[in-house]
Structure 1
């Protein structure tokens, strides 16, 4: 009987071991590692090429920057270019694509006179993402500086210098007597073809072979400064003085704002209704022109900003000066059907 009991105990022990060996379950683990959110970017950079009375502000320095007023084709100035009194003088207003800082001034001219004309070819580079763009003129100030005898004789109430400056009476008259206008310098082909990395070396004076008139500082127009429908390169700011002026007590300022989408949208409707609505057209016709006027990421947009002091301006503007801040702004397009007025 004892042997039987011992045998049964052995069997029970073996059974227990067998049961223990079957306690594992089927399983599987799936792991997603390194999950991440990375914010996108929107970065606006500006470059400029300044022109004044037929000359171009060029960097002629072999090593360090040395910007001078030179001819259209550097190294081969014409007789007319050489006759300009400021030929080879130091200049401002030209720089390569960059973020704007305190040293970047589109205009820094100290001896302007009636009959002078100038232009800046300005290009906007919005990288990575589409965005709404606009151009703002602010902090406009008119200074009389000093009163010359000829100025005092032509000003009705006599020439006075305000203390502090930039108040009425006693402010300068230059802002009233200098005219600005701007156009979309897209060339003869709608849209922008000149930032194509596959472009060939352009001819002298042109930015690209695909459209030699793109960004060439000349408005392609049947009638200069005419309405947009008469121009391959439409006017986006009509000719006239700067509108932004402080009020009499110098306490209120209203910026002059130009929404870039309001300039680009009509051009799409005029030329590009059969092209991609998002403005991505592989540098072909209408590249950079979207159906809502947004700026298309990685497109280079050229604008011409022209100014003149008409020959009809008299002694009232002598010694006066005009200062202003020029700002280009961009805000994201995605999830933002229309930008807020203040961005």
Structure 2
């Protein structure tokens, strides 16, 4: 059998040596490749058959540091090895472009990319920086948070084999948007691996990359045309002295796995058999007044097995952002988890409104539409980063509007009209299942809600004047117990705008609100939506910590995972929170 796992090493020195007098800072920012280009063999009838697979990545880089100069480098990475990217001595206004163009010699292959921020450091503090930043040392830099990146699928018309044709940003043509944000957030999003699409499509909305299995293979052969991955970076001009002296480094990895006998769902970046280490603490009472687990579940950008837990710590140190990974411990299913911890002074929220638009709502619908419109306008006026989605229901549920901005959502809500339905109760439980984004739930037409954003507070508002059809109804797929589990596992804030009582044989949304961990019932006859507004604004404008980890149990088995958090706070001592989420199946 031939060995199809080829190993070549391209040293960091070899790549950077081609940059001449350009500083290491620019070179590192311009390169940033760590190509682990593995060839994966297939299994046929229990016999290992070597596939014909050879991955090469053409890379291009251009940087512009104003009066400090500009430069470019390009080449081809073939095999495996590590070339770390570094960035230092940059100022507001500096920018650059990267492009990675995979080529498959042989069989078509699924491609994945993963990466990580390996350093984000302070390197001494000149006097201007001390006025705005009092953190020092390794891991306390702000540069990664202030470098912005725009990631696209693209085409490049410069060949790496022709060095006389120097690369510049004008040589790229965008095919599709993929991702925008800080470099730190991007590397966190791809930390556990994301699939690349051979056709250069990005139809995943806020999550940026397609779900595993939805991507197309990269075509094999010397004449194949595949999409490149372009990363434009810059330090915005409004960034201040807090980045003086800061430096960062990062790695990227590319993995190829042949399409034959695979379906694209296997993540070659993921750790399959992480060791379960004892948690080191016993969960304690969670009823303190100083901490709150806002949400926990798979990272929307990276996808499972990446998990994010968002925690509010209402203490002087917690509100100041002084807590670090050493102040937190997470135990999932009895196993300690390795954490990356980030802090933000204001959170984000994803809101889904479930709206009964049957004929019985004709006397109330216009008032409730006005209430929902006012609620979203007030949330926008508060400066909160919010997205909105709409699910309506009669005898079947319908995803009327996937996550969008306030204006588009308001148009969708005001476009509802009360009609039909006929009998009562209605298909409210299935509509709630769609609203929670449960993997098994689609609307009556087969549409599914897009993923909730990582770290977002999740809110479901259910508006109806009758009870819900029980699971004994032939058309109802989910039970009351199912919905309560979905709401609790997803750490949803649930608001039931519903009658105080319902007819015999139907499910009361008031009961659901009282049974779940974070539920509120509002009488539809006199509902005050300011209650919802005050809750959302109060929770979202508070600072919070995102605890990111790759679960030690990556099994895709649909199981419920218990998550316990220990917080060691300098002001209030040891605090505890607990929650759960459901693994995909």
The alignment's TM-score, normalised by the length of structure 1, stands at: 0.51
Matched, 1:98 2:78: yes
Change beyond 3 A, Cα 1:182–1:111: same
Matched, 1:142 2:97: no
Cα deviation, residue 335, structure 1: 1.0
Contact kept? 2:97, 2:230, Cα under 8 Å: yes
Instruction: Give the Cα–Cα distance (whole angstroms) in 2 for the partners of residues 254 and 186 of structure 1.
Output: 21
* Per-residue deviation, residues 185-219 of structure 1 (Å, max 9, x unmatched): 237xxxxx999xxxxxx9x9699xxxxx9x95444
Change beyond 3 A, Cα 1:45–1:101: same
Change beyond 3 A, Cα 1:129–1:216: farther
Q: Partner residue of 1:310?
A: 236
- Equivalent position to 1:259, from 179, 195, 210: 195
Contact kept? 1:140, 1:244, Cα under 8 Å: no
Matched, 1:295 2:295: no
Higher relative contact order (CA closer than 8 Å, sequence separation 6+):
1
Instruction: Give the Cα–Cα distance (whole angstroms) in 2 for the partners of residues 302 and 143 of structure 1.
Output: 31
Aligned length: 208
* Per-residue deviation, residues 76-101 of structure 1 (Å, max 9, x unmatched): xxxxxxx843357xx7x532353353
Q: What is the DSSP-based 3-state SS (H/G/I as helix, E as strand, rest coil) of the residue aligned with 2:266?
A: coil
Structure having the higher helix fraction is 2
Q: What is the DSSP-based 3-state SS (H/G/I as helix, E as strand, rest coil) of the residue aligned with 1:243?
A: helix
Instruction: Give the Cα–Cα distance (whole angstroms) in 1 for the partners of residues 266 and 231 of structure 2.
Output: 25
Instruction: Give the Cα–Cα distance (whole angstroms) in 2 for the partners of residues 40 and 118 of structure 1.
Output: 37
Q: Partner residue of 2:142?
A: 173
Task: Give the aligned CA root-mean-square deviation in angstroms.
Answer: 3.9
Instruction: Give the Cα–Cα distance (whole angstroms) in 1 for the partners of residues 186 and 192 of structure 2.
Output: 5
Q: Partner residue of 1:185?
A: 154
Contact kept? 1:185, 1:216, Cα under 8 Å: no
Change beyond 3 A, Cα 1:131–1:53: same
Cα deviation, residue 124, structure 1: 0.9
Cα deviation, residue 241, structure 1: 3.1
Contact kept? 1:138, 1:255, Cα under 8 Å: yes
Instruction: Give the Cα–Cα distance (whole angstroms) in 2 for the partners of residues 265 and 116 of structure 1.
Output: 29
Q: Partner residue of 1:153?
A: 131
Cα deviation, residue 320, structure 1: 0.6
Cα deviation, residue 119, structure 1: 0.4
Instruction: Give the Cα–Cα distance (whole angstroms) in 1 for the partners of residues 95 and 106 of structure 2.
Output: 36
Matched, 1:39 2:19: no
Contact kept? 2:112, 2:267, Cα under 8 Å: no
Q: What is the DSSP-based 3-state SS (H/G/I as helix, E as strand, rest coil) of the residue aligned with 1:316?
A: helix
Instruction: Give the Cα–Cα distance (whole angstroms) in 2 for the partners of residues 314 and 98 of structure 1.
Output: 40
Change beyond 3 A, Cα 1:321–1:259: same
- Equivalent position to 2:109, from 131, 135, 141: 131
* Per-residue deviation, residues 263-317 of structure 1 (Å, max 9, x unmatched): 73558xxxxxxxxxxxxxxxxxxxxxxx951111133542221100000110001
Cα deviation, residue 160, structure 1: 3.0
Instruction: Give the Cα–Cα distance (whole angstroms) in 1 for the partners of residues 190 and 218 of structure 2.
Output: 25
Q: What is the DSSP-based 3-state SS (H/G/I as helix, E as strand, rest coil) of the residue aligned with 2:245?
A: coil
Change beyond 3 A, Cα 1:161–1:194: closer
Q: What is the DSSP-based 3-state SS (H/G/I as helix, E as strand, rest coil) of the residue aligned with 2:184?
A: coil
Structure having the higher strand fraction is 2
Matched, 1:243 2:185: yes
* Per-residue deviation, residues 7-40 of structure 1 (Å, max 9, x unmatched): xxxxxxxxxxxxxxxxxxxxxxxxxxxxxx9622
Instruction: Give the Cα–Cα distance (whole angstroms) in 2 for the partners of residues 131 and 338 of structure 1.
Output: 9
Instruction: Give the Cα–Cα distance (whole angstroms) in 2 for the partners of residues 340 and 97 of structure 1.
Output: 24
Instruction: Give the Cα–Cα distance (whole angstroms) in 2 for the partners of residues 244 and 108 of structure 1.
Output: 16
Q: Partner residue of 1:85?
A: 68
Q: What is the DSSP-based 3-state SS (H/G/I as helix, E as strand, rest coil) of the residue aligned with 2:93?
A: coil
Instruction: Give the Cα–Cα distance (whole angstroms) in 2 for the partners of residues 144 and 38 of structure 1.
Output: 50
Instruction: Give the Cα–Cα distance (whole angstroms) in 1 for the partners of residues 184 and 199 of structure 2.
Output: 18
Q: What is the DSSP-based 3-state SS (H/G/I as helix, E as strand, rest coil) of the residue aligned with 1:176?
A: helix
Alignment gaps of 5+ in structure 1: 1-36, 55-82, 188-192, 196-201, 208-212, 221-232, 247-252, 268-290
Alignment gaps of 5+ in structure 2: 1-47, 204-213, 270-585
Instruction: Give the Cα–Cα distance (whole angstroms) in 2 for the partners of residues 239 and 341 of structure 1.
Output: 24
* Per-residue deviation, residues 152-184 of structure 1 (Å, max 9, x unmatched): 1012xxx2324xx22xxxx00001100112212
**Structure of larger gyration radius:** 1
Q: What is the DSSP-based 3-state SS (H/G/I as helix, E as strand, rest coil) of the residue aligned with 2:146?
A: coil
- Equivalent position to 1:53, from 64, 68, 75: 64
